[in-house]
Chain A
Amino acid sequence: MINVENLHKSYGSLQVLKGINTQVKKGEVVTIIGPSGSGKSTFLRCINLLEVPTEGKVIIDGTDITAKNTNIKKIRENVGMVFQHFHLFPHKTVLQNVTYAPIKVKGLSKGEAEKMGKELLAKVGLADKEAVYPSRLSGGQKQRVAIARALAMNPEVILFDEPTSALDPEMVKEVLEVMKSLANTGITMLIVTHEMGFAREAANRVLFLDGGVVVEDAPPAEFFTNPKTERAKEFLEKML
């Protein structure tokens, strides 16, 4: 469902992505790992055009999203994103955070949106927090609201950009649990992460990026026990 062809991204003379080619099938859970500066986040952000590629194509469900006449808004409705620093709307309550886009972008009625929002908040274990403002939540709770907010648009794909990197260690688990339960629902997930345990347990595939290219692409069992390249071996030695 996602086809990435020869994807390049440069900032001035700095080349971050140097030709990424990969396909992601519907329902796949793909973790993207690699050393910092390897272009993981940039790659992820190219998939909903928060970064505009300098060269190459990203095709989602047959639509080339990098083409000039593509309706980016429509693509983004279908591709959710969860950020490292949550980016909840601080002036809106938890429930309003979740219902804002369905009401404004999809045109759902307030009643419909709230019913769905409450269900989603229950799903991420925050049914009792719907009326509070984000500043009252812990990091783990904020990230779970952010996941509910992304799910509220009923996307086919969710991009996770280091969703647990800004969390205190004791909050990582609650977020990963929610993500694991999502992984079983058939939604397509692309996850940039440093959580090797999660990559090993919950993912179907691991993409190992280094220097702006995909160095390895393998099922987690294979990648973690038997990495093919020196670079991946070195990286895993440092991480595990």
Chain B
Amino acid sequence: MGLDFQQFIPSLPYLLKGVTVTLQIVIVAGIIGFVLGIILSIFKLSKIPVLSWIAAIYTSVFRGTPLVLQLMIIYFGVPQLTGIQIEPSVAAILSFGLNSAAYISEIIRAGILAVDRGQKEAAMALGVSPRQAMFDLILPQALKNIFPALINEAVSLTKESAVVTVIGVTDIMRRAYIMGGEKYAYLEPMILAGLIYYVLVMILTTLAKAVERRMRRSD
């Protein structure tokens, strides 16, 4: 009875190695989600109907089905359909990246729409092309305004990444589970895993605050 953390001290390095695995998935998936999210948000605001339909359907599918289902469909579905076996971590990165792109595209779309229309008009009046205006003038302002929402998405991605444990990726969560199985004591490794996630999120939000302060220079 009671808690005994001592027995897990030798396994701590093993657990901490999971941080690299988790971070790798979160960072790469986050980049995929961000880049794809920008593209999708521009599609959504496009005057070309086909592009806005594609983006709308994409978002509704990825928001309308469970993330863990998307993960499994990619992990089991890709080999079944193509014969190519993919690494669990690759499946994890793909599914998280594609999934968060759906959410991020909505955030960015709202951010773009919130930028004063006059900005676009001022750019057009100077002979700036729509594409240049978007990337140099509109998006930077939009991103500054939606930065807190993007950080929210990054935080939730960090925590949600724990579901990769179901396809056997040895992330923080999976390692905690394995440690528990070895000693028939699950509570302590789960508490340790929880602490690690919490610290990761704290570091992320602290960094975000510093970046946000820098971005507010022009206010």
Chain B positions within 8 Å of A77 at CB level: 126-127
* Cβ of A77 to closest chain B Cβ, rounded Å: 4
Separation of A88 and B124 alpha carbons in the complex (Å): 13
Chain A positions within 8 Å of B137 at CB level: 89, 91
* Cβ of B212 to closest chain A Cβ, rounded Å: 14
The reply to whether B119 and A153 contact each other, CB–CB distance below 8 Å, is no
Count B interface residues, CB 8 Å: 20
Chain A positions within 8 Å of B119 at CB level: 87, 89
* Cβ of A173 to closest chain B Cβ, rounded Å: 24
Separation of A79 and B141 alpha carbons in the complex (Å): 26
Count A interface residues, CB 8 Å: 27
Chain B positions within 8 Å of A149 at CB level: 126
Chain B positions within 8 Å of A105 at CB level: 126-128
* Cβ of B120 to closest chain A Cβ, rounded Å: 9
B122, B124, B136, B219: the one within 8 Å of A135 (CB): B219
Is B214 part of the contact surface with A, judged by Cβ < 8 Å? no
The reply to whether A87 and B122 contact each other, CB–CB distance below 8 Å, is yes
Separation of A92 and B123 alpha carbons in the complex (Å): 13
Q: Check A91/B127 contact, CB under 8 A, given A83-B122, A133-B218.
A: no
Q: Check A91/B124 contact, CB under 8 A, given A133-B218, A135-B218.
A: no
Q: Check A90/B141 contact, CB under 8 A, given A104-B136, A105-B128, A135-B219.
A: yes
Chain B positions within 8 Å of A92 at CB level: 218
Q: Check A153/B219 contact, CB under 8 A, given A87-B116, A91-B140, A91-B141.
A: no
Separation of A149 and B127 alpha carbons in the complex (Å): 12
The reply to whether A101 and B126 contact each other, CB–CB distance below 8 Å, is yes
* Cβ of A53 to closest chain B Cβ, rounded Å: 16
Chain B positions within 8 Å of A74 at CB level: 127
Q: Which chain A residue lies CB-closest to B125? A: A81
Chain A positions within 8 Å of B128 at CB level: 100-101, 104-105
Chain B positions within 8 Å of A104 at CB level: 128, 132, 136
Q: Which chain A residue lies CB-closest to B119? A: A87
Q: Which chain B residue lies CB-closest to A89? A: B137
Is B60 part of the contact surface with A, judged by Cβ < 8 Å? no
A–B pairs, 9, beta carbons within 8 Å: A50-B121, A50-B125, A80-B125, A85-B118, A87-B119, A89-B137, A105-B128, A149-B126, A150-B126
Residues on A close to B: CB < 8 A?
48, 50, 73-74, 76-77, 79-81, 83, 85, 87-92, 100-101, 104-105, 133-135, 149-150, 153
14 further A-B contacts with Cβ under 8 Å, apart from A81-B125, A134-B218, are A48-B125, A73-B127, A77-B126, A79-B125, A83-B122, A85-B118, A87-B118, A87-B122, A89-B119, A91-B218, A100-B128, A105-B126, A105-B128, A133-B219
